[in-house]
Structure 1
Amino acid sequence: MFVEEIVVSAPGKAILHGEHAVVHGKVALAVSLNLRTYLWLKSNSTGKVCINLPNINTFLCWDLSELKQLAPHCCAKREEIKLLDAELVARLRDFVGVTNGNTDTRSMATLAFLYIYLSLFGSGDLPSLTVSVWSELPTGAGLGSSAAFSVCLAAALLATSGAIPAPLRDWDKTSRWCQEDMELINSWAFQGEMIIHGNPSGVDNAVGTWGGMLRFLSGKIIPLSRVPLLRILLTNTKVPRSTKVLVAGVKDKINKFPSIMNPVLDSVDAISCTCEKTLSEMTSQPITGEHYNVLEELIDINQHQLDVMGVGHPALDVLCRTTLARGLHSKLTGAGGGGCGITLLRPETDSVIVQNTIQDLKDCGFDCWETSIGGPGVQQHSALSVKDEVLELLGCY
């Protein structure tokens, strides 16, 4: 074991434009959220492996002897990635008690952790360690919380195994891995996502790994090298919805009215491309009010398009009306039908307006945070660079 203690974090994600249209071969833009998941890994001498998940009041420990019996007979090299080991997954599902009808957050998080841990260490001596994970992201809200968890697990366990270095130097507060190491982190994180979600697109874990903004088209994910950091409000309407049902509904509407809906999809594609061009301009020339005017108009148009697709919801209408009353522009992010929305904040937006808007949305029964999009992906932290309250929740004190 090459690293005995490490603190890492990874961001959540939001879809800026292209929801649902991306399923039909159009461009989507995914961005990192500056709401992060933090992981603290520390070796111990107890002969046990423990996972601490304070967000969901979970603390589990296993003896190394019982985990060794579950380990795969042969493992891939730690520096490589392989196809999901279906046999190991099946053994772990039985061990954790996961059935087809039991996919609660605690069970799936435990399953992903044990799978990556045993895949990386199972061919040798299993290390005794404690992993604590705490997140600023709500679960089940379409904000990439499971992917941020998987990215943190992959980074910390790969560093612990020696497959990748710990990039942090003594004088650094934070540090990031090189491209090659991040590709390995992303590959293992995708394994975790497959265990949790079955057939993920790979977008969420890619955003968690690279951060910034990614262009997603027909299964191809391209990280964009430079994007401006934009302030937003992120609102969770707390209205539950089924992504599967919403996606099926859009497909039915396209099949029923192809001559009407296909131009809508083309228009959504054009919005994603126009937004990408505008954001690129904002990194290569002085940012002007006109740039923000364009971004606001694109948000308004895209929200109407999503309503036409049938994925709006009265709670999202309330969100849009409430923020527009303060001069701010909002759209849903993700599957729609409830869920979350984002509101763009201009640089000159007064803090009083921001706080009043947050209160307005809370009065509607929503959760709301001021945050930003476009920040860094997975990174290692010195303990001094992480907020004290986060370290306390992770059990570092």
Structure 2
Amino acid sequence: MVIVRAPPGKVILYGEHAVVYGEPALAMAINRYVYVMAKARNDNKVSINARDLRLAGVSVTINEDGDIVARTDYGAVISALSYVKRAVELAMEYLDKRVGIDLEIRSEMPVGAGLGTSAAVAVATIYAYIKELGYDIDKRELARLAWQVEKDVQGSASPTDTTMATFGGIMYVKPEGNNAAMEPVKPGTSIPLIIGYVPRVSTTKDLVAMVRKKYEVMRDVIEPIIRSIG
């Protein structure tokens, strides 16, 4: 059994949304974490106990066909757990092994608050699965796989959140095709930061899709704004 604490959630200081379109972003970690406990099984099933991933006490099983079977009526949970499902699939593909796993997930961050919870879950799940099976993975490759999780689930995503969940600290991030520049930044002084949180959920997937639609419909207006942000 292994327990992984994903390096923390994040706030984007500069480059929000523009980073999805290839512009750079500067992001900073915060001291809130996601924990994933993984224990290998003797079958091919994936069992997930998500204690506080959107709703407390949610238990689901992913069967051998990859379908999520939930023991709850809350459809919103399925969306949140799509990141876990895809993270496990990519970890299996990376190792070229399919081994069942019991996962227990705890989060100190609210879901849907823009703090990168889904990215932290993806990073921690992939790493926990790989470590439980006795392997290791380079941090940049871990960040790349977790970024793929977000792209697959959301349809479009920047590498910012998954980079932060992998490395922590303050990072300069710039997409470069299917890869990304990921460089640590050392500030010359401390950076005081206050985060205000209100219990209003807006999913990253929906917000990214909204910006994408505006970009496609009013490209001559939106593209200069994106470039200016960069």
TM-score bin (small chain): 0.7 to 0.9
Measured at CA, do residues 154 and 238 of structure 1 come closer, stay the same or move farther in structure 2, by a change above 3 Å?
A: same
> Which of 2, 6, 10 is matched with 1:5 structurally?
2
Measured at CA, do residues 142 and 251 of structure 1 come closer, stay the same or move farther in structure 2, by a change above 3 Å?
A: farther
Paired residue for 2:47? Answer: 50
2: distance between equivalents of 1:119 and 1:257?
37
* 1:117-156, Cα deviation, whole Å (9 max, x unpaired): 54356646x25x4211111121122221111001001111
Aligned 1:322-337 pairs, distance under 5 A: none
- Alignment check: 8 A CA contact 1:10 1:149 kept: no
Aligned 1:296-375 pairs, distance under 5 A: none
Structure with more of its chain in strand, by fraction: 2
The letter of the residue matching 2:128 is A
> Which of 123, 131, 144 is matched with 1:187 structurally?
144
- Alignment check: 8 A CA contact 2:139 2:167 kept: yes
Q: Taking structure 2 as the reference length, what is the TM-score of the superposition?
A: 0.72
2: distance between equivalents of 1:45 and 1:23?
40
The letter of the residue matching 2:79 is T
Paired residue for 1:28? Answer: 25
- Alignment check: 8 A CA contact 2:214 2:222 kept: no
Structure with more of its chain in helix, by fraction: 1
Q: Taking structure 1 as the reference length, what is the TM-score of the superposition?
A: 0.45
> Which of 212, 230, 254 is matched with 2:191 structurally?
230
Paired residue for 2:82? Answer: 108
> Which of 121, 127, 132 is matched with 1:160 structurally?
132
CA shift at 1:257, angstroms?
9.3
Is the radius of gyration larger for structure 1 or structure 2? 1
1: distance between equivalents of 2:174 and 2:44?
46
Matched, 1:221 2:186: no
1: distance between equivalents of 2:81 and 2:50?
11
Secondary structure of 1:60's aligned partner = strand
Paired residue for 2:11? Answer: 14
> Structure 2: 5+ residue runs without aligned partners?
none
- Alignment check: 8 A CA contact 1:158 1:185 kept: no
> Which of 112, 116, 120 is matched with 1:144 structurally?
116
2: distance between equivalents of 1:106 and 1:161?
25
2: distance between equivalents of 1:38 and 1:139?
14
2: distance between equivalents of 1:50 and 1:160?
15
Aligned 1:272-311 pairs, distance under 5 A: none
Secondary structure of 2:118's aligned partner = helix
Measured at CA, do residues 207 and 47 of structure 1 come closer, stay the same or move farther in structure 2, by a change above 3 Å?
A: closer
Matched, 1:206 2:163: yes
Secondary structure of 2:102's aligned partner = strand
- Alignment check: 8 A CA contact 2:95 2:130 kept: no
| Count of residues paired in the alignment | 215
CA shift at 1:108, angstroms?
1.0
- Alignment check: 8 A CA contact 1:29 1:214 kept: yes
Q: Percent identity?
A: 23
1: distance between equivalents of 2:222 and 2:109?
38
- Alignment check: 8 A CA contact 2:80 2:118 kept: no
2: distance between equivalents of 1:46 and 1:24?
42
CA shift at 1:17, angstroms?
1.4
CA shift at 1:199, angstroms?
2.5
Measured at CA, do residues 17 and 157 of structure 1 come closer, stay the same or move farther in structure 2, by a change above 3 Å?
A: same
The letter of the residue matching 1:194 is K
1: distance between equivalents of 2:149 and 2:22?
26
CA shift at 1:236, angstroms?
2.5
> Which of 89, 102, 106 is matched with 1:130 structurally?
102
> Structure 1: 5+ residue runs without aligned partners?
71-90, 165-179, 270-397
- Alignment check: 8 A CA contact 1:39 1:131 kept: yes
CA shift at 1:47, angstroms?
8.4
Measured at CA, do residues 251 and 40 of structure 1 come closer, stay the same or move farther in structure 2, by a change above 3 Å?
A: same
